[in-house]
Amino acid sequence: MNRIATPRRILAVIAAAAVPLAFAGLAIGAFSDAEAGVHRIPAAIVNNDQMVMQTDADGAQQPVLAGRLLVTELTGADSAGFDWTVTNDEAAAEALRDGRVSAVVTVPEDFSRSITSLGSDKPEQASIDIRTDDAHDPLTGAVLQAVSDGMVAAFGQTITQQVLAGMFDSFGQLGDSLGTAAEGARQLGTGVDGLAKGSAEATAGLESLAGGVGGYTQGVSSLSSGLASLDSGAAQLDGVAAAVNDFTGGTASLSAALSRAVAQLSANPSDPVALGTVQAISAQLEQFAAGGGRLASSTSSAIDGVQSGITRSAQGAATLAREGDALHTGATQAHQGSAALTAGAEQLANAAGELAGGLDTAAKAVPSSEGTDAEAAAAALARPVSATVDREHALDSASPAIVTAVAPAALWLGALAVFLVSAPLSHRVLQSSARLGRLVQTRLLPPTLLVAGQAVALTVMIHAAGAAPWSLVPWTLGISLLAAIAFAFIHFALMSLAGRGGLVLSLLALALQLVSSGVVFPRALLAEPFQAIAPWMPMTHFSRALQSVLTGGALTDGLAAAVALAGFAVVGLALGVAGTRSRRAAPTAAFAA
């Protein structure tokens, strides 16, 4: 009864009962600052973007540095996530290789060119490259891959807003151009009206002109007929002239003969010659009288023909004079209509030019789709920036990541179970004359061999499950055996220093290592005290060594982890020996519990 009530036993019971609370408290404490922990994830950013010049709507050249804008967005005080370091390609690659950064974001040279192409007829999606290394921290790489989508989406939203603003500005220019085209269309309508009026006036003038030309033709026809009659009458006048000449000549001859006959009769009234002459002249006078009648008739007919031709010519001339006025009026109206028609045509041409200019400007304001892949353009505008994640030493499946998290905890629990069931050094053994080294060997060797056997079984299970190729067995087995020795020695130290209470301390150490090693959760999400103690935990180095082997990481990382495990084994052995020596010096007090 007194044995149960000893202070050491009471303390051990309280500690055992507090183990679940300790687990929960450690987990809560470790993730109490998880939201701010994202900002502590170290990442490098390399800006290789080249500046491009963009022509504004007014023709001015503006420099575009989209890469610098992205860097400002990511590294600004208000940016979400990651502790950014701006550097160059060489320094970033070295930092990623050494594990000083969890990711490297590279902005390519054509980033600005791709961004400016979003407002053109051939938009291209801009892309950034993100590199992680699973050999150091596979969980952070997975987190970065998830966060990168939100990161580029946020920046892409800014770019999309700028592109839409440019599109709305283009729509405004399109509206102005269409307004100009509408004004040109109105002027075109006015010109068409003027052209119609001019055409009507020209038609009326041409009708009057046609009427005048018809009357003119009739007058000319009448005049022509009159002139023909006049010509015919004039031809008859030629015969009258000849007859008159003959009549005049004959009259003169008769007059001379009559004068001589009269003279002879005066001298001799009974002169027969004179009487015969007078009788002959009388006969000729009768003939002349008949010829005079014919001459008079011919003269009268010719004069009638001339008079008729003159009358008809006068009538034709009168008609021609009357229709000449109508012809002049029609010609004047036709000229005026033609002038109005010309003015309307000029106005129509000017309005058509303005309409064409406005429509041409409007057409230029609308992006051309010729030669454009509509689906690609839509995808680029919907997601203007994409991220390509390149995970160096990437794990093919989740199994290796699970192994790096589960194997250390399993081997630690195995060591705890072995020392839980193994019998501690009895009081009689401690008080014996056996050397300290012999006592340590007796207490440490059997549990260590059992834990080593667990490591062998664990290695076989890892490879049998396909989490690692069989070609890596020498490496995984060697690391597992080294970790088994270190864990066994640490538990030996705990049992030697704290007795059965060391098992409770082992459970608390397991909880502390699970939350701080970075194999279950990214270490950057942990509160800073837990990040600080992670390098001092043996499970952390076992996980790192497995990561280096399973991911094909740098050999130096695996060797460094192996050296650390060997160091923990040495420290555990030294503390265990010191604890055993202390118990041997005071065995009764040590085993009273």
Domains of the chain, residue spans: 7-23+396-590, 36-172+371-392, 181-365
Coil, helix or strand for 129? strand
Q: Is pLDDT of 446 > 80?
A: yes
pLDDT digits (tens, 9 = 90+) for 371-413: 545 555 555 555 566 667 666 666 666 677 777 878 888 899 8
**Max Cα–Cα distance, the chain, nearest Å:** 237
Q: Whole-model pTM?
A: 0.53
Q: What pLDDT sits at residue 126?
A: 77
Q: What band does 310 get if pLDDT is binned at 50, 70 and 90?
A: low
Length of the chain: 593
Q: What pLDDT sits at residue 270?
A: 67
Q: Name 388's bridge partners.
A: 129
The highest-confidence range among 96-100, 128-132, 200-204, 486-490, by mean pLDDT, is: 486-490
Q: What pLDDT sits at residue 498?
A: 81
Q: Was domain 36-172+371-392 assigned CATH 3.40.50.2020?
A: no
Mean pLDDT of 533-556: 81
Could you tell me which residue, 427 or 52, shows the higher pLDDT?
52
Coil, helix or strand for 79? coil
- Cα separation of 21 and 43, whole Å? 35
Task: Note whether 44 and 103 are within 8 A (CB).
Answer: yes
Sorted by sequence, the CB contacts under 8 Å of residue 289 that are 6+ apart come out as none
Q: How many helices (H) and strands (E) would you count in the chain? A: 18, 7
